[in-house]
Amino acid sequence: MCCRETVMPITATEASRLSRRTGLSEEQFCSKDDSGIRRLLNNQDTKACVFLATSSDLPTAPGICTVYDARPLGCRTYPVILDEQDMAILDDLCPNTSEFDEPTEDDALRLLNFESKL
Ligand code: SF4
């Protein structure tokens, strides 16, 4: 999912912007995976993105993104993701996909451009 147990990738530019916005060091909200890609961290108690204001670790519990205006592109486009053929699809892990239009080729191009910056 997006904000719960997140593995959301972010670019170096997005990390810098979030750092400026929040006053946090990058190490406080993201880490690099084995491929060197920055990914948002989860709060150990809520198991949600460190930027999600929530009091519960239940996946359906309410929460508000505290960096909404500065949220990374991956958060803005979710639940649209790329499949293994680089086609844009709706992530079937998201419980709200019925609220979204079918992804387009433009969505795929935008995500591919984003991936190239990771
Ligand atoms: S930055 Fe905001 S929208 Fe993105 S995963 Fe975190 S809480 Fe969710």
pLDDT tens digits in sequence order for the chain, 118 residues long: 689 999 999 999 999 999 999 999 999 999 999 999 999 999 999 999 999 999 999 988 999 999 999 999 999 999 999 999 999 999 998 888 999 999 999 999 999 999 999 9
Distance 89 CA to ligand 1 centre (A): 20
**Candidate from 1, 4, 6, 91 with most ligand 1 atoms within 8 A of CB, to mutate:** 6
Note the pLDDT of residue 60: 85
From residue 85, how far is each of 17, 89, 93 by CA, in Å?
Answer: 31, 10, 18
What does the pLDDT read at residue 1? 66
Q: Which of 5, 13, 4 is nearest to 72 (CA)?
A: 13
Mutate to test the pocket of ligand 1, among 17, 67, 78 (most ligand atoms within 8 A of CB): 67
CA atoms within 13 A on the CB side of 1: 14
Of 54, 14, 71, give the one whose Cα is nearest residue 37.
14
Which atom of ligand 1 is closest in space to residue 63's alpha carbon?
7
> If you measure from the C-alpha of residue 2 to the centroid of ligand 1, how many angstroms do you get, rounded to a whole number?
7
Q: Are 55 and 47 in contact (CB under 8 A)?
A: no
Please tell me the pTM assigned to this model: 0.92
Nearest CA to ligand 1 atom 5: 3
